[in-house]
Amino acid sequence: MTSKGNNVQLQAKVRNEFTRASRRKIRQNGGVPGVVYGSGTESIPVSVNLKEAAKLFYTGRSEVFNLNIEGSDSVPVLVKDIQQRGGKVIHVDFLHISMNKPVRVSIPVEYQGTAAGTKTGGILQTQVTELEVEGLPADLPSAIEADVSGLEVGDKITAGDLKLPKGVTLHASEEEVLASVIIPRAVEAAEAEAAAGEEAPAEGQDKED
């Protein structure tokens, strides 16, 4: 993988064999098989260096880079899908995109700050790690920031609370809960038990006066 200015380049070789043995050989040699598709063109089976490609598995889902296909043109792509088996990457899908057409992708959510409620016994519970958005490739952020510093116990942050870059739209319910500050179950149980004890009548006292 190389970088020319702000344009990241990843080298790819065209695959001409499609047997299980050929794919195994690619992986044994430090590569990973993949395919390039989209933008109205025929799919192209390729292989890339796994170590170099792995650097793009995070940002490549939203930041466009150029795939230099051996014997062909360089094409702008996004990492569309990563298939794994036993914790190892076995296949990668590259989406050939047009810089002038909106694309829909899933982008990681990065939680920023320390929730205020965690300082008084609460626990920050995150429920969403990525969200689907749509926009022109040049407008897509590498991650969506969610500031949780103002959350007290019982508070939550939803998809509708996020601020997206201009030109980028959310493809999720605005009511979807991303994170919340909760009371640990042990504390809840203790408080419930204490409350029940306060409500119970004293020994030898009638339930009703």
Condensed to tens digits (0 to 9), the pLDDT of residues 23-43 reads 999 999 999 999 999 877 789
**Domain check: are 6 and 94 in the same one?**
yes
Residues 49 and 70 in one domain: yes
Q: What are the angstrom distances between the C-alpha of 97 and each of 13, 23, 37, 85?
A: 19, 26, 9, 27
pLDDT at 63: 80
Per-residue confidence (pLDDT) for residue 91, from 0 to 100: 95
Residue 4 has a pLDDT of: 43
Which range of residues forms the domain containing residue 90? Answer: 2-98
What residues contact residue 97 under an 8 Å CB cut-off, 6+ apart? 38, 39, 64, 76, 77, 78, 103, 137
Residue 138 lies in a domain: yes
The Cα–Cα gap between 188 and 191 comes to: 5
Residue 187 confidence class, pLDDT cut points 50, 70, 90 = low
Model pLDDT, residue 8: 83
Q: What is the CATH number of the domain that holds 62?
A: 2.40.240.10
Count how many domains the chain has.
Answer: 2
Give the Å distances, CA to CA, from 52 to 3, 10, 61, 124, 209. Answer: 12, 7, 15, 35, 78
Q: What is the average pLDDT value for the chain, to the nearest integer?
A: 86
Residues 90 and 131 in one domain: no
8/93 same-domain check: yes
Summarised one tens digit per residue, pLDDT across range 88-136 is 999 999 999 998 999 998 888 999 999 999 999 999 999 999 999 999 9
* Greater model confidence, 139 or 62: 139
How much is the pLDDT for 58?
A: 67
Task: Quote the pLDDT of residue 191.
Answer: 59
> How many CA atoms within 13 Å lie on the side-chain side of 83?
9
Both 94 and 6 in a single domain? yes
pTM, full prediction = 0.71
Final residue of a domain: which of 43, 71, 98? 98
Domain final position from 76, 98, 120: 98
Domain stops at, among 83, 98, 113 = 98
Residues of the chain above pLDDT 90, percent:
63
The pLDDT tens digits of the residues spanning 64-92 come to 899 999 988 889 999 988 999 998 999 99
**Residue 204 in domain:** no
Whether 206 maps to a domain, the answer reads no
Residue 205 lies in a domain: no
What pLDDT shows up at residue 142?
A: 85
Which pLDDT does position 200 carry in this prediction? 54
86 and 125, same domain (yes or no): no
Asked whether residue 131 falls in the same domain as residue 78, the answer is no
203 within some domain = no
